[in-house]
Chains A and B, each alone.
Chain A
């Protein structure tokens, strides 16, 4: 899991599975905590699934900062890239992987 784009895509899959919305409908602005229609238990589910998928610890007291989907992706990316650049520049090979 070396770059932001991959984390984003993987997290979007997790979100669509746990919250039950179509993958194509997930955008960076999709509401999590800020969306009153989403059950808090579902958010807990999403958090747990992310921890499993990315092998990271998401601290409970930070979850409520996930106002929208992108906030959670940034959090995970920050944990994964801790001590590195938060959005690393992808190599040419990785860039190819996004497109082909």
Chain B
């Protein structure tokens, strides 16, 4: 406390220190700007020359010859690329130093080293700043080892892990600064981890349109996750608003910082699996703000499309959002207590995404070369190249760890090489036959070659029929042949209505009715005329016209996932061999099959998996997922950390939301209080509109910048949008009103109307949940949906229903009746 007694004196000293640091930062900024400008001049000069050099190539770009013109252009681009890379790195430095000039650091730790007794005042900022002259570090990067002391320890004994080993010492002082535009406003000293007052102030601010960085307020628990480098899989079970996603991104930034030291990662080695594109846009600013390059984000649908594209299946894949709409819609319209898993579609989905089905698929892959591939003798020109038995033996004998697709390709190559050895002799035979018939005296050679091409084509097609796997046809076969299916499922526990599910799967694959189904996508119809020339009868099964086009087909989400898995395992692709760290957000929404796909995609990567079992949408999840995830991913060294403090919402909103989950749901709130949530009943749509417009008015007047109106499904969101939009416009608000539908990337400032599943992971200053009536929210799935919707709110939450309120609110009111400012009508109906 002695320090605080002399606050004024300390303040002056800190001011001095700040101005010294700022001088340093400004110098570095000026230097970086100079470098950037130099590079810019070089690039601009190159660009000025470029049109002259490539004008004719540019003119050709729209013509049919565009390919080679593009090649020409790329030569020029390559020349400039090097300068651009240097420019970008300078520009990144400029960005960093610009932000440092405004706020060079946010914290200070005075650390006494145990071994030398030396004392150092460590200033911590977003990036490090070094005095080039004295080689001293003026500001330490928040990710540096010594900065860890700030996040993990109060005053007293402390230590940190440096590259050379553990360093012990004492923390004498912990101080946090508020610096605005280069001016020191105030500072706090504390002996706890992060000063509560400081955090509370930050949290009471409005939600930003994009996710913000949390470097200044990282909590001890969060820091443990961010800096973990020991475990292959780090799993985080975090309550809504506990900062899971922020942690994931800061962890990515930390791992990249480690890259400077050599052992860490570059941005191209990290991938984030995100739930949807809206979310992708929402988090896209965090890493640049932390001074790092953005890393790649991927949604699962993208993986499916990519894979199916490579397989050659050209069909529309059901998106996750559409799947959710379909699963939720019948329950909503029928008004039944319809859990998604009570419909056949829901049960089929649950089965196909389950660990049981993953196991069946694995067994299936093992069986493919043994039972399913129609191996045949390879013949060429009436001679045996390789017998059926030999071919199968070659495929089965090759190294076990080599994927089946690769083994088959190698076998095909072997057959081709043998054929090549036989070719010369075969050409001679064909020639003597043609000469004997004296049909083509003027172009005998060419005619013979044409015959050979035709014959070889027929040969290679027969060989391809068993060396190139038609994953889709095989997958269909699995469902068509029930005997095979049950053989593969032997010893596994199947759902009781397996027969019904199989029938449903066949129907959704278009296999019902017993016809041959689809297959033969790798036949090449346009080349068939070559084969029709052939006088010899062809036994090639690909010539029979069963190649129904897949173009108009529609593939369900689960089938797309299963096909992706099958293809990845069979083909042994190497597309993502460079990925070392995979961050999976909203982990509870993924099924075992998803994790099996991740394992196949990124076999060597380490994982950071973040989720909340209370926020799953269409399926119940429990803590068992955290034991199954590492098992499916095949990682032996997992760590599970729990974050139970929510920083997003006010205590009132957190208590209200936790009440929805029923008994045993314990979510700690950070002590920040606000208005109690309001649940109100309305008589009809007109009243709903009036009341919601009023509420929006109040929210905007209170200075809330983002208002989320959350509905159960996209269809409902559209209805509500239509209901509100004219009214809002006539009120003359400047805040934009928008409907957020499937996968549109938008900013969140203003009033947004969106379905619950799109709102996941996002946050709004104020949230209005509409239509929370008993019919719409009846099942256990619905309970979690309500929880998700309510926990999106930072400061203010209101809910509207027509008729009777959902039964889940009775629990809420029972458990914490005094705290809720429930309007009279709502209270009467609900209790």
Query: Footprint of B on A, CB under 8 Å?
Result: 4-5, 8, 27-29, 33-34, 36, 40-41, 43-45, 47-48, 59-65, 67, 70, 87, 89-90, 95, 98-99
Please state if A40 and B453 are interface contacts (CB–CB under 8 Å).
yes
Mark interface residues in B437-474 (1 if CB within 8 Å of A CB, else 0): 00000010111011011111101100000000000000
Residues B64-88 near A (CB distance < 8 A): 64-68, 71-72, 75, 78
Given A41-B450, A60-B453, A61-B416; A5-B68 close (CB under 8 Å): yes
The 3 closest A-B pairs by CB, nearest first: A60-B456, A61-B460, A61-B456
Main secondary structure of the interface of A (DSSP, over half): helix
Please state if A40 and B526 are interface contacts (CB–CB under 8 Å).
no
Query: Footprint of A on B, CB under 8 Å?
Result: 53, 56, 63-68, 71-72, 75, 78, 416, 419-420, 423, 443, 445-447, 449-450, 452-457, 459-460, 524, 526-527, 529-530, 533
Q: How far is the CB of B689 from chain A (nearest CB, A)?
A: 57
Which residues of the other chain, A, contact B446 by a CB distance below 8 angstroms?
41, 44-45, 48
Which residues of the other chain, A, contact B460 by a CB distance below 8 angstroms?
61-62
Which residues of the other chain, A, contact B530 by a CB distance below 8 angstroms?
33, 40, 64
Closest to B419 in A: A61
Kindly state the separation between the CA atoms of A40 and B530 in the bound complex, as whole angstroms.
7
Q: How far is the CB of B442 from chain A (nearest CB, A)?
A: 11
Please state if B456 and A28 are interface contacts (CB–CB under 8 Å).
no
Given A44-B446, A89-B78; A61-B65 close (CB under 8 Å): no
Which residues of the other chain, A, contact B443 by a CB distance below 8 angstroms?
41, 45
Which residues of the other chain, A, contact B529 by a CB distance below 8 angstroms?
36, 40
Kindly state the separation between the CA atoms of A14 and B533 in the bound complex, as whole angstroms.
25
Kindly state the separation between the CA atoms of A70 and B423 in the bound complex, as whole angstroms.
26
Please state if B71 and A4 are interface contacts (CB–CB under 8 Å).
yes
Kindly state the separation between the CA atoms of A92 and B781 in the bound complex, as whole angstroms.
65
> Which of B453, B457, B524 has the most A CB atoms < 10 Å from its CB?
B453
Which residues of the other chain, B, contact A33 by a CB distance below 8 angstroms?
526-527, 530
Please state if A90 and B419 are interface contacts (CB–CB under 8 Å).
no
Which residues of the other chain, B, contact A61 by a CB distance below 8 angstroms?
416, 419, 453, 456-457, 459-460
Please state if B416 and A28 are interface contacts (CB–CB under 8 Å).
no
28 sample A-B contacts, Cβ–Cβ < 8 Å, listed by A number = A5-B71, A5-B72, A8-B68, A27-B63, A28-B66, A33-B527, A36-B529, A40-B533, A41-B446, A41-B447, A43-B453, A44-B449, A44-B450, A47-B449, A48-B449, A59-B416, A59-B456, A60-B455, A60-B456, A60-B457, A63-B453, A63-B457, A64-B457, A65-B524, A89-B78, A90-B75, A95-B75, A98-B72
Given A33-B530, A40-B533; A87-B71 close (CB under 8 Å): yes
Kindly state the separation between the CA atoms of A64 and B532 in the bound complex, as whole angstroms.
13
Kindly state the separation between the CA atoms of A31 and B75 in the bound complex, as whole angstroms.
28
Please state if A64 and B64 are interface contacts (CB–CB under 8 Å).
no
Which residues of the other chain, B, contact A95 by a CB distance below 8 angstroms?
72, 75
Please state if A34 and B526 are interface contacts (CB–CB under 8 Å).
yes
Which residues of the other chain, B, contact A8 by a CB distance below 8 angstroms?
68
Please state if B68 and A28 are interface contacts (CB–CB under 8 Å).
yes
Q: How far is the CB of B378 from chain A (nearest CB, A)?
A: 12
